[in-house]
Structure 1
Amino acid sequence: MTPLRIGNASGFYGDRFDAMREMLTGGGPAGTLDVLTGDYLAELTMLILGRDRLKDPDAGYARTFLRQLEECLGLAHDRGVRIVTNAGGLNPAGLADAVRELADRLGIPVRVAHVEGDDLTARHPGSLAAHAYLGGFGIAACLREGADVVVTGRVTDAALVTGPAAAHFGWRRTDHDRLAGAVVAGHVLECGTQATGGNYAHFADHDPRTLHHPGFPLAELHEDGTAVITKHPGTGGLVDLGTVTAQLLYETAGARYAGPDVTARLDTARLTHEGPDRVRIEGVRGEAPPPTLKVGLNRLGGYRNEVAFVLTGLDIEAKAALVRAQMTEVLAKSMPADVRWDLARNDHPDAPTEETASALLRLVVRDPDQRTVGRALGAAAVELALASYPGFHVLAPPGNGSPYGVFEDVYVDQDTVEHVAVLHDGRRIPVAPARDTLVLADVPEPALPEPPPLGPVKRAPLGLVAGARSGDKGGNANIGVWARTDDAWRWLAHTLTTDRLRALLPETADLPVTRHTLPHLRALNFVVEGLLGEGVAAQHRFDPQAKALGEWLRSRHLDIPESLL
C-alpha cells in the first residue's frame, strides 16, 4: 500500500500565514499531499480563546485558519488534499459553519465535518475553559464518511495524524504498534518548523541562509506505522537526525508517551538517516492507552502588575536594596497576595554603552483584586523618581493590573466523555472510547552504556557536545538533552545526573527533578516539577514556557573530556 503523505502547515496560533499555500504548492505534481493538518492550540491559546468567547459567544476559534482557507480552499480541492485542523478551539461547530459559508461563497463543493465532545466546562464551575484531550478516531469517522475538511476542538496534537492514518489504513483501536508509530510521527509534525531546523540547538553548524525560511514538515506514513519525516524539495531548513530527535524530546517525559488512542513507547523508536532531508522512524511499540483522558482547566487567577527598575553602573546590589525597601513600605499598605522580586544582572563592568552597564530589578505583584495591583503601584514607583537611588528610572510606568490565567490538568474516565463525529449532512456518529486500556506505570530505567575511558578534561560549555530542547506542560518543564555520537552519549549518560542538573541550573535546586533515559535516541529527558508555577498564563518566571531552559543548560560549563571536544 502506498504511504499516506501528511503535511503540517501550523504549529501554533500565529504561525506563518503563508504556510498553507506553501504546503499545497511546494511539492509539485509528484509531491502532492494526501492530508494537510494545522495545529493551532496550546494551553495558553485555550485561555485566549476563552476570553474571546466571553466578549462574543460566536467566537472561540482560530480566525487565522479561516483567512488562510479563503486563499487555499480551492487549491486544496483541486489537488484532492483533505484538511484536518484543531483550529475549532472552543467552538468547532462555529468554525465548521464558517467554513461552509466560505465554501458556498467561493463556489467550492467541499464537505465539512467537525468533532465535538471535548468541552467539559459545565462540569467544572469557575473554569473559563475545561476541555478533554480527545483522540483521532472522531477524525477518522469524519474522513471515512467523505469529509474534505475536518474541524476539531481540543484533541491531542498527534490525533491530527492518527485520525487520518486510521481512516486511510483501516486501523482498529487495538492496532497499538501502528497507532504508536503515527503518534510519534504526529508529535514530530505538530510544531511545524521545529522539525525542519527551527529552534534547533545546532543551527550554527549550518549555512544561515538555509534556515532563513524553513519549510514545513511532512510524514510519509506506512501501513505498519513506520514513517519517514521529510519536507518539500527545494524548501528551506533541514531534516536530519538531530532535528527529529529534538522534536521527539519536546514536551515529553519518560519512555511512555500516553494519549487517548495509544501509549507510545518512545524508548523503542529508532531513527535512521535515509537520504537528504529524510529520516525514517521505525520500531515504535505501542501499548493500550490509559483509561482516563486528560482535561485542561483554564481559569482566571487574578490580576498582575509589574515594574522594571533600571539600575546602572556601580553599587547595583545596594541600589536594588534601597528601592526594594522603599517599595516594600508602600506594598505593606495594600498587601498584595503575591509579591516577587527578581534582579537580573545584565550589567558589565566598564561597559561601552549605558544599556550594557545596567541591570534590571523586576517587581511583580499579583492579587485577586485588580485595585490592589492597579495604578497605586505605578504611582508609588513614579513618586520615587527623585527620592531613590542615583540614576533612577523604570522601563515603563505600570498601568492598571492585567488579568492572568491559571492552567491545571485533571483526569476523567474515557467513557464519561461523549466523543462525537458530526458529518457534513448533520449525522452524528458516536465514537466509542477505548475498551482495552492500561493504567500507566513507570518503565524501569535501562542499563547505562559503559562509561567512557578516563582522559584529560577541559572546562567548556555542555552545548559543545550535546543538543537540548525544552518546553512546558502546565506548571512543569522538560529538558531533553541528546548526544550526537556514541562516545558523547556514554559520557553524557554518566555525567548529567539529576544532582548535576540542579547544580548547573540553580533555579531547579529545590524542585523535584526526574531523569528518563532513552538510549536509542542517545538522550536524557528531565522533568522539573513546579518550575513554571501555575502555567504559562501565570507568567511565573522570566521564561514562562521554559523555551530557553535547554539553551541555558547548554551554556553552562563543566569538565568535558578533551577527546569529545
Structure 2
Amino acid sequence: MTTNLHGNESSKRVMRIAGISGGVFDRFRAMGDLAKDPSIDVLFGDWISEISMTFRGNERASREPEAERLAFEMSFVAALKPAIKYIAQNKQKVAVNAGSCDPEAMANIVQQLVKDYGTDLKVSWVTGDDVTEQFKEMLKDGERFLSLPSDTPIDQWGAEPVCAQAYLGGVGIAEALRRGADIVICGRVADAAPVVGAAMWFHNWDREDFTQLSYALVAGHLLECSSYITGGYYTGFKKELLYAKNCTNCGFPIGEIEADGQFVITKEENAGGIVNVQTVTAQLLYEIQGPLYYNSDVTARFDRIKLVQEAPNRVRVTGVTGSPPPPTTKIGITAKGGWQAEVHFFLTGLDIEEKAELIERQTLESMGDYRKEFQTLVFNITGSIPVNPKNQASATVDLRIFAQSKNPDLMSAGAHKGVAPDTPSFGKWCIENCLQGYPGGTPAMDLRQSIGKPFFEYWVALFPQNKINHELHTFDGKTISIPAPTNTNVYPRQQDSYDTPSPLPLDSWGETVLAPLGHIVHGRSGDKSSDCNLGLFVRHADEWDWLRSLLSIGKLRELLEDEDKGKNIDRFEIPALYAVHFLLRDHLDRGANSSSSYDILGKNVCEYVRCKLVDIPKVFYDRGTI
C-alpha cells in the first residue's frame, strides 16, 4: 500500500477535482466559488483553444525584444484573485494552461499576485510546447508533416509557418506537484493533461499505469469543457433545464477519481444544471476522432465505456481500457493567412435567389480583375422564408459576402494608414451598387466588418515526442527535464471505421412516422482542426438496434444533402451508450481560424442532422420528444 503526499493511504482516498473553466470566456465565478469548498483537492481549467493559440503564437513569434505583448491569458488572473485566500486556506492545488505561449511570464505575474495577497503559495511552470525551431529543422530535412484531417503534405499548404506548438501530457504537472508546487502554469498541454497529471501525483501512479492513466484521460476529457457536461449544449435542454427552470447558473463539474482510476462525475451542489447519463454521453462524444483517444501519456479506448447513474447528479464511469501512448503528439502550426472582411445585406419577401444573384453579379462586375486577388470570395444566404410569413422579420434572410485576401489595402485594412478614399477596396465594391440594386436593398449599417482584420491559417500534424524539450521550472529555481515516454505503441494512422455489421431491416419495428431525427435522438458535434465529429445516441436499449441500422455512412451523406463535402467519413459504435459516432474528414473549411462558414466550430452540424426528417418507428415516436 502506497502513501500519497497528503500522508494518507492512497487506496482509501478519492481525488476531487473541479473543472473551473472551459475557455477564455467562461464564467469567472467558478474558481472563487469552488475554492471555498474544502472537499476539493484540485482546481483545473482550460483557457486556450486552436483560435487563441494562433493569435498568442503569432504575438510570441513576432514580438520585438522591447515589446510588452501578452502571449498568455490574462483572464486567468481575474478568475484567480477572488480564489487565492481560499486556495491557501484549503491547501488546494491548481493546474491550468493559461500560460498559453508564455507560461514563464504568466507564472511571474501569478507569483507576485499570491505574495500581494499575503500567501506563500508556490508557483511553478511547464515549458516545451514551443517546438518552432525543431519543426523548422525537420522541415528543412524533408519531413512532410502530413495534415491530420486531409493527409496532404505541408508543402501543399501555400502558407509560411510562423510557429509550431506541441500538445504536452501531464507528467510535467505531476512532477511539479510532487515537488511542492501549489499552482502550475502550463502552455499548450492537452486539454485533459492537468487531470492526468493531478491524478498521477495524488495517487502515486507510475507512467506505465496505463489503465489508471486512461481513466484520468477520460475524466479530463469529460471535465475540461466545464458546464458542457452539466447541461450546456445538451439536446435534452427543453424538458430537463428550460421548462424545469434549471437552466441558469449551471454548476461546474467535479470528478471524483479513485485509486484504481474509476471515477464519478458530479457537480456543485448549490447550483443549477444537471449531470445524467445523457449529458455525460454527449460530452464523451464531443471532439473525439475514433474508438482510440490518443494522448502524450496514454491511449484510452472509448468504445467499451459504460455509464451508470448512481444517484441524482452522479454518474459513474467504468469500462475504460488503456494502452501505451504513441511516440508522437499533435502539433498546431500557425501561419499568417492575410486579411478577411464581410458585408451583409438583408433580403425580404419574394425572389430571394434572384436578388442574391443580382448582388453577386453587380459586385463581381465592380471588382473586375481585382477579384483574382481574393483567395476566398463567397456569397451565402442564411435563413429561409416561410409561406405567408406572419411578420417582416420572419420574411427576411441575411446575405453575407465574405472575402479573404493577402492584400491589406484591397481589404480596406490600410484605411487607418491614410489610404485615399477612392482606393479600390472590398467594402466599396460591395456597397457602391446599392442604388442600382435589388428591391428593398438594405445593407447592414455597421460597416466596420467590411474593414479587413488579420486571420491565420492552422495546420495540424504529428510530431515526435522525443524531439520535445519538455521541462518543469520550479518555484525554487530548479529546471527539471521531463523525458519522453519510452514505452510507446505505433498506431495506424487510420482508425477502425465500419458500418454496423448486422443491420436489421428498417421495417422491423412496424408502422413509422416521418419526423425529425432529433425527436428521439440526442447528439453532440464539434471540431478538431478542419475535421468535424458527430455523435448521435438514443436513450433506450430497444431503440439502439434501430439507430445503428439506420445510421450508416451512406445514410449520413443522405441527411447531409448539400452539406456533404464528398470527403471521407469514418464511423464506429459505442454499444453500451447506444451511440454511433462519425468523423467527417476535412469538413470545416480549414478550421475555425480561417473558415468562411458561420459554423466555424462544427457545433451546429449535429443540430442540422437532428432536424432532418426520417421514418421513426411509431412505438418510439409515441414516447414523446426528448
Cα deviation digits, residues 178-228 of structure 1 (max 9, x gap): 100000011000000001011101111214221211010011001111010
Partner SS, residue 450 of structure 2: coil
How far apart are the structure 2 equivalents of 1:261 and 1:443?
Answer: 21
- Whichever residue aligns with residue 618 of structure 2, its letter is E
Other-structure match for 1:258:
294
How far apart are the structure 1 equivalents of 2:321 and 2:407?
Answer: 51
- Whichever residue aligns with residue 25 of structure 2, its letter is G
Report the Cα offset of residue 465 of structure 1.
1.4
1:393 aligns with 2:442: yes
1:179/1:286 contact within 8 Å kept? yes
How far apart are the structure 1 equivalents of 2:202 and 2:28?
Answer: 28
1:214 aligns with 2:250: yes
Matches within 5 A, 1:367-516: 367-374=405-412, 376-395=425-444, 396-397=446-447, 398-441=449-492, 442-443=495-496, 445=498, 448=501, 451=504, 453-506=508-561, 507-516=563-572
Cα deviation digits, residues 253-295 of structure 1 (max 9, x gap): 2110011011100012111111110000112100111111111
Partner SS, residue 273 of structure 2: coil
How far apart are the structure 2 equivalents of 1:57 and 1:174?
Answer: 42
1:113 to 114, 124, 139: 124
Of the structure 1 ranges 102-111 and 184-193, higher mean CA displacement relative to structure 2 is found in 102-111
1:223 aligns with 2:223: no
1:276 aligns with 2:327: no
Other-structure match for 2:213:
179
Partner SS, residue 141 of structure 1: helix
- Whichever residue aligns with residue 37 of structure 1, its letter is F
Cα deviation digits, residues 151-182 of structure 1 (max 9, x gap): 10010111110001111111112111110000
Other-structure match for 2:611:
555
1:254/1:517 contact within 8 Å kept? no
Partner SS, residue 538 of structure 1: coil
How far apart are the structure 1 equivalents of 2:397 and 2:409?
Answer: 29
Partner SS, residue 337 of structure 1: strand
Cα deviation digits, residues 31-81 of structure 1 (max 9, x gap): x20100011111011123235544654521110111221221111110111
Of the structure 1 ranges 189-198 and 441-450, higher mean CA displacement relative to structure 2 is found in 441-450
How far apart are the structure 2 equivalents of 1:237 and 1:269?
Answer: 24
Partner SS, residue 429 of structure 1: strand
1:331 aligns with 2:382: no
2:532/2:583 contact within 8 Å kept? yes
Other-structure match for 2:46:
39
2:59/2:69 contact within 8 Å kept? no
Change (3 A) 1:348 1:470: same
Of the structure 1 ranges 486-495 and 53-62, higher mean CA displacement relative to structure 2 is found in 53-62
Unpaired segments of 5 or more residues in structure 1?
none
Cα deviation digits, residues 222-262 of structure 1 (max 9, x gap): 11110100012222111000010000000002110011011
Partner SS, residue 365 of structure 1: strand
Unpaired segments of 5 or more residues in structure 2?
1-11, 137-159, 413-423, 622-626
Cα deviation digits, residues 15-44 of structure 1 (max 9, x gap): 00111112223x4x5xx2010001111101
2:411/2:450 contact within 8 Å kept? no
Other-structure match for 2:381:
343
Other-structure match for 1:543:
599
Other-structure match for 1:170:
204
Change (3 A) 1:391 1:446: closer
Partner SS, residue 533 of structure 2: strand
Other-structure match for 2:77:
66
Report the Cα offset of residue 111 of structure 1.
0.9
Report the Cα offset of residue 124 of structure 1.
4.7
Q: Percent identity?
A: 34
How far apart are the structure 2 equivalents of 1:19 and 1:227?
Answer: 21
1:24 to 22, 32, 35: 35
Change (3 A) 1:204 1:297: same
How far apart are the structure 2 equivalents of 1:140 and 1:385?
Answer: 62
How far apart are the structure 2 equivalents of 1:466 and 1:314?
Answer: 35
TM-score of the superposed pair, with normalisation by structure 2: 0.87
Partner SS, residue 536 of structure 1: coil
Cα deviation digits, residues 81-114 of structure 1 (max 9, x gap): 1111011100111111111111121111011111
Report the Cα offset of residue 123 of structure 1.
3.9
1:357 to 388, 395, 401: 395
Other-structure match for 2:6:
none
Of the structure 1 ranges 278-287 and 321-330, higher mean CA displacement relative to structure 2 is found in 321-330
How far apart are the structure 2 equivalents of 1:456 and 1:357?
Answer: 37
1:115/1:139 contact within 8 Å kept? yes
Cα deviation digits, residues 323-365 of structure 1 (max 9, x gap): 2111111233212222212122432333233222122222212
How far apart are the structure 2 equivalents of 1:62 and 1:437?
Answer: 33
Report the Cα offset of residue 128 of structure 1.
3.7
Change (3 A) 1:445 1:529: closer
Q: CA RMSD in A?
A: 1.7
How far apart are the structure 1 equivalents of 2:224 and 2:133?
Answer: 29
Change (3 A) 1:448 1:509: same
Report the Cα offset of residue 539 of structure 1.
2.4
1:564 aligns with 2:615: no
Partner SS, residue 436 of structure 2: coil
How far apart are the structure 2 equivalents of 1:450 and 1:546?
Answer: 28
Cα deviation digits, residues 416-440 of structure 1 (max 9, x gap): 1011111110111111111111112
How far apart are the structure 2 equivalents of 1:486 and 1:268?
Answer: 16
Partner SS, residue 593 of structure 2: helix
Other-structure match for 2:285:
249
Report the Cα offset of residue 381 of structure 1.
2.2
- Whichever residue aligns with residue 146 of structure 1, its letter is G
2:194/2:220 contact within 8 Å kept? yes
Report the Cα offset of residue 495 of structure 1.
0.1
1:346/1:360 contact within 8 Å kept? no
Change (3 A) 1:447 1:376: closer
How far apart are the structure 2 equivalents of 1:238 and 1:17?
Answer: 20
- Whichever residue aligns with residue 556 of structure 2, its letter is L
How far apart are the structure 2 equivalents of 1:471 and 1:134?
Answer: 22
2:58/2:334 contact within 8 Å kept? no
1:524 to 580, 589, 594: 580
1:47/1:128 contact within 8 Å kept? no
How far apart are the structure 2 equivalents of 1:279 and 1:454?
Answer: 31
TM-score of the superposed pair, with normalisation by structure 1: 0.96
- Whichever residue aligns with residue 511 of structure 1, its letter is K
1:46/1:129 contact within 8 Å kept? no
1:96 to 104, 107, 118: 107
How far apart are the structure 1 equivalents of 2:437 and 2:76?
Answer: 51
How far apart are the structure 2 equivalents of 1:360 and 1:298?
Answer: 32
1:24/1:76 contact within 8 Å kept? yes
Change (3 A) 1:355 1:417: same
- Whichever residue aligns with residue 18 of structure 2, its letter is G
1:240/1:277 contact within 8 Å kept? yes
